[in-house]
Amino acid sequence: MVIVMRSDAPKESVQKVEQTLKDWGFKLHTIEGVEKRVIAAVGDKRRVDFGFLESHSGVEKVVPILSPYKLVAAEAHPEKSQVRVGDIRIGGDKLVVMAGPCAVETESQLMEVADGVARAGAHVLRGGAFKPRTSPYAFQGLEDEGLAILAQARKATGLPIITEAVDITQVERVAASSDIIQIGARNMQNFGLLRAAGRSNKPVLLKRGLSATIQEWLMSAEYIMAEGNPDVILCERGIRTFETATRNTLDLSAVALVKTMTHLPVFVDPSHGTGKRQLVAPMAKAAVIAGADGLIIEVHPSPETALSDGDQSLTIDEFSKLMYELVPIVKLAGKSLTNSEEKPDTRG
């Protein structure tokens, strides 16, 4: 349940309510909003004395959360959550674009993409160091060497880094050397990994599983938040359907729906969502109109030689063109794209 405190409630009153909830065995997550203090309390509601709570002078209202995900639910947080990464705010009025190769392959490959996407106006650099591949014989990523190259690119461009932790043993290393931990679609229900990401002090981008329902996806976000990490970003990346003409079916209705169910920011990955380069730009634009808070897009200097996901990777020029084309669409969606008045590079 959520306890909304009156804006003029004295400190002692808040402390009394919090202590009482703890005595009833509740786990508390206090959210300090601009106007209100909201206490999200998770526990066994049979132990609650609603009479006490409702008659307490500092309490404005008590709202039960009926959904199985409590911290993730829209009711738990009256304002939309914003995830801060350096001076970037994810979930606010700016569309945030993360771009880069599927995998870090070499230093020169990553530096070239990093420079290209930074010039085009991307806000975050993506690149996999640990790759979850369908075949054990396929390129598995440069691992720690990949993390070191990403750190070098961050230094050179100033862009924060997002990279995936494929298993629990990598979480600390990924958290130490990047700015956002990515949990991939195949790991959406790896509960140990979710818990470990929840204990890290870095924002987590949680991709929707290949066959996950929206409820399962939100329950996975709850695992991360329940460990005390409020900085979760959801990412729709396509689901598996009967259709084989595209790699996945990008579920944009999920984006519009999830935005009403949760306060968390929602991203779209049109690269994995379609698997086809020519579909990335149209679906990126559609995602913005569907209400996405950001996009994560694969970009490679020469997609035909990419070690993974070349078919769905944009060239640097194609990405620059997309960023330019997105400007009026983002405006139409009530957001803006650039951090400054500066326009993205219009090459291509």
Binding positions for ligand PEP, rule: CB under 6 A? 102, 128, 132, 184-186, 207, 237, 269, 272
Give the nearest residue (CB) to ligand PEP: 184
Q: Considering beta carbons, is residue 49 or 167 the nearer one to ligand PEP? A: 167
Q: Considering beta carbons, is residue 58 or 127 the nearer one to ligand PEP? A: 127
In degrees, to the nearest 5, what angle opens at C-alpha 142 toward C-alphas 208 and 212? 10
Rounded to 5 degrees, φ, ψ at 99 are -150, 155
Q: Considering beta carbons, is residue 237 or 300 the nearer one to ligand PEP? A: 237
User: Binds 207, which of ligand PEP, Mn ion, none (CB < 5 to 8 A, cut-off by type)?
Assistant: ligand PEP
Look up residue 195 and give its amino acid. R
User: Binds 202, which of Mn ion, ligand PEP, none (CB < 5 to 8 A, cut-off by type)?
Assistant: none
104 counts as binding Mn ion under rule CB under 5 A:
no
309 counts as binding Mn ion under rule CB under 5 A:
yes
User: Binds 184, which of ligand PEP, Mn ion, none (CB < 5 to 8 A, cut-off by type)?
Assistant: ligand PEP
In the complex, what is the shortest distance from the CB of residue 208 to ligand PEP, in angstroms, rounded to a whole number? 8
Closest among 155, 160, 156, 150 to 97, alpha carbons compared: 160
User: Binds 300, which of Mn ion, ligand PEP, none (CB < 5 to 8 A, cut-off by type)?
Assistant: none
User: Binds 237, which of ligand PEP, Mn ion, none (CB < 5 to 8 A, cut-off by type)?
Assistant: ligand PEP
| Length of the chain in terms of residues written | 348
Q: Considering beta carbons, is residue 186 or 199 the nearer one to ligand PEP? A: 186
HSE value, Cβ hemisphere, 13 Å, CA-based, for 112: 15
Determine if residue 228 is left, alpha or beta; phi over 0 gives left, psi from -120 to 50 gives alpha, anything else beta. Answer: left
Q: Residue 72 has what DSSP assignment?
A: S
In the complex, what is the shortest distance from the CB of residue 308 to Mn ion, in angstroms, rounded to a whole number? 6
**Cβ atoms of 299 and 313 closer than 8 Å:** yes
What is the C-alpha to C-alpha distance for residues 127 and 117, in angstroms, rounded to an integer?
A: 12
What is the edge-to-edge ordering of all strands in the sheet holding 59-63? Answer: 27-32, 37-42, 2-5, 59-63
Q: Considering beta carbons, is residue 65 or 185 the nearer one to ligand PEP? A: 185
Q: Considering beta carbons, is residue 39 or 97 the nearer one to ligand PEP? A: 97
102 counts as binding Mn ion under rule CB under 5 A:
yes
Determine if residue 221 is left, alpha or beta; phi over 0 gives left, psi from -120 to 50 gives alpha, anything else beta. Answer: alpha
Q: Which residues bind Mn ion (CB under 5 A)?
A: 102, 309
